[in-house]
Amino acid sequence: MAADLLARLKSVNRDEVYSNAWLTIPSSWTAEIMARSGFDLCTIDAQHGLMDYQTGLSMLQAIGNTKALPLIRVHDNAIPNLMKWLDAGALGLILPMIDEPEQLKQALSACYYPPAGNRSHGPTRAAFVTHPDYRYHVSGDLLIFAQIETASGLEQVEAIATVPGLKGLYVGPYDLSISIGRPKLADLSDPVLWSALVRIAAAAQKNELLLGIHTSDTSRIPDLRALGFHIFSTGSDSHLLMDSAKKLDQELRG
């Protein structure tokens, strides 16, 4: 299992399309259901999800029994927080609210061992589930994304994209649309928001970065693909449960 996990991690590239399950429910059982449903990636949303560290750890363990790669969208970019999730076995992090390059450099320093960064050595679970020599065989391949979701991040995205150690950009269109003053949330038909996506995609392409987005508008995925996006999240486990429950209730009443 560990060898397969590493092979999948090392093979993630810009030429493939990946589905990303978004996990907000604090449960290892629902995490396992999502991970076994065929998703390539499973992101535990520790920022807006309802889990604490201990529950997040159990969710990482559940995902680890599947073929999905486990990621964490961290609740903040504090150095001890990033190190702790990586030591727990997350194979990637989505760093929220990245506004400028220096902020990103500080966060990335916690993700890589010297000389590339200042991460403290202690991959307690990470080495156990991947490779005994985690520092040399795993840590350099971690999927570290900067989330572009603020007006400042958008204005500095070209500089952000050049920071060494960054593996990808991940767009949060909900916060981004608010931050740049758009009237609707994540409206991909909004030309101003779409122009922002074009700019972000160009920065990612120029620097050969992975490129993901969270969107509920699946009809625009072909257009997003044409821009260079290739990692897609839509909705979340909570939304899937709510939508299915409402549909079932309507069917029963009908």
Q: What are the φ/ψ torsions at residue 152 (nearest 5 degrees)? A: -65, -45
**What is the C-alpha to C-alpha distance for residues 50 and 4, in angstroms, rounded to an integer?**
30
Rounded to a whole number of angstroms, the CA Rg of the chain reads: 18
* Active-site pick, 48, 75, 121, 230: 48
**What is the C-alpha to C-alpha distance for residues 93 and 70, in angstroms, rounded to an integer?**
9
Task: Name the residue among 216, 205, 240, 244 with its Cα closest to residue 14.
Answer: 205
| 137 is an active site residue | no
**What is the C-alpha to C-alpha distance for residues 46 and 244, in angstroms, rounded to an integer?**
24
DSSP 166-206: --EEEE-HHHHHHHTT-SSTT-TT-HHHHHHHHHHHHHHHH
Which residues are identified as catalytic? 48
